[in-house]
Amino acid sequence: QKEVEQNSGPLSVPEGAIASLNCTYSDRGSQSFFWYRQYSGKSPELIMFIYSNGDKEDGRFTAQLNKASQYVSLLIRDSQPSDSATYLCAVNSGYSTLTFGKGTMLLVSP
Amino acid sequence: GAVVSQHPSRVICKSGTSVKIECRSLDFQATTMFWYRQFPKQSLMLMATSNEGSKATYEQGVEKDKFLINHASLTLSTLTVTSAHPEDSSFYICSAKAGEGTDTQYFGPGTRLTVL
């Protein structure tokens, strides 16, 4: 059974700091990896996707993928209170469906 | 780009009635759409995968006769909760894949169902 693990948190960081969110997955054949942000009471919103080992940057967000370690992370630079949300890691293992982690709650304090 | 809408955003119904939720891809054609359910403070649970013009594939434990899915066009999928009961009260969210060459899913805003 494919599994995606995330620390549920909450991860608390002060405003302006770097928030580091981590995710591990069980299926070594996984091909693509996604980070979604979900505000309370709202649906998930795509932040980034990454397919290749290494880093991918988009604005304040950097996704990092290490397939050998089966590990993917999301860094948020200059964290803002508006970044406070639950961050979902999702993995596609070659089929149509995504396997979601349970999410990490991030709290950014002013 | 890749906007997905859902209607209604919120619905309250009496126990025993049926409720239909629509999911539309507004600026792309979605050959595959997905239906999720999320209970408070819990993770997303995939209910079914809907492919245009064919029967939906339901996840284990999801009753296909209770949760009817129709994907009649490349931009519209519907979920009908039949004979709804209070335990069906949840946040129902659809997502759509923007084409066969991608596995990125874009989510609709969700429908909050309350069954009295």
Closest CA to B73 of B108, B23, B36, B111: B23
For residue A105, what pLDDT is reported?
Answer: 97
Closest CA to A32 of B34, B106, B104, B49: B104
B28 at interface of A, judged by CB pairs closer than 8 A: no
For residue A23, what pLDDT is reported?
Answer: 97
Put the strands of the sheet holding B4-7 in their side by side order.
B4-7, B19-25, B76-81, B67-73
For residue B1, what pLDDT is reported?
Answer: 66
Q: What pairs with residue A33 in β-bridges?
A: A50, A91
For residue B43, what pLDDT is reported?
Answer: 86
pLDDT above 70: residue A75: yes
Please name the residues between 43 and 82 in chain A that touch chain B, using a CB distance below 8 Å: 43-46, 49
For residue A81, what pLDDT is reported?
Answer: 97
pLDDT above 90: residue B103: no
B106 at interface of A, judged by CB pairs closer than 8 A: yes
For residue A94, what pLDDT is reported?
Answer: 64
Q: Which among B46, B91, B109 has CB closest to A97?
A: B46
Q: Cα(B19)–Cα(A71) distance, rounded to whole angstroms?
A: 41
pLDDT above 90: residue B102: no
pLDDT in tens, A3-62: 999 999 999 999 999 999 999 999 998 989 999 999 999 999 999 999 999 999 999 999
Q: Do B32 and A92 touch (CB under 8 A)?
A: no
Helix (H, G, I), strand (E, B) or coil at A81: helix
Report the greatest alpha carbon distance in chain A: 41
Burial profile B56-87: b = 16 or more Cβ within 10 angstroms, e = fewer:
bbbeeebeeeebbbebeeebebbbebeebeee
Q: Tell the residue number behind the tokens 């909450």, with chain if given.
A: A10
Taking residues A63-77, what's their average pLDDT?
Answer: 97
Q: Do A96 and B49 touch (CB under 8 A)?
A: yes
Please name the residues between 42 and 61 in chain B that touch chain A, using a CB distance below 8 Å: 42-44, 46, 49
The C-alpha of B90 sits at a distance from chain A's nearest C-alpha, in angstroms, of 11
Q: How many CB atoms lie within 10 A of CB A55?
A: 12
pLDDT in tens, B36-95: 999 988 889 999 999 888 889 999 999 999 999 998 888 999 999 999 999 999 999 999
CA A42, distance to chain mean position in Å, is 17
For residue A14, what pLDDT is reported?
Answer: 98
The C-alpha of A1 sits at a distance from chain B's nearest C-alpha, in angstroms, of 13
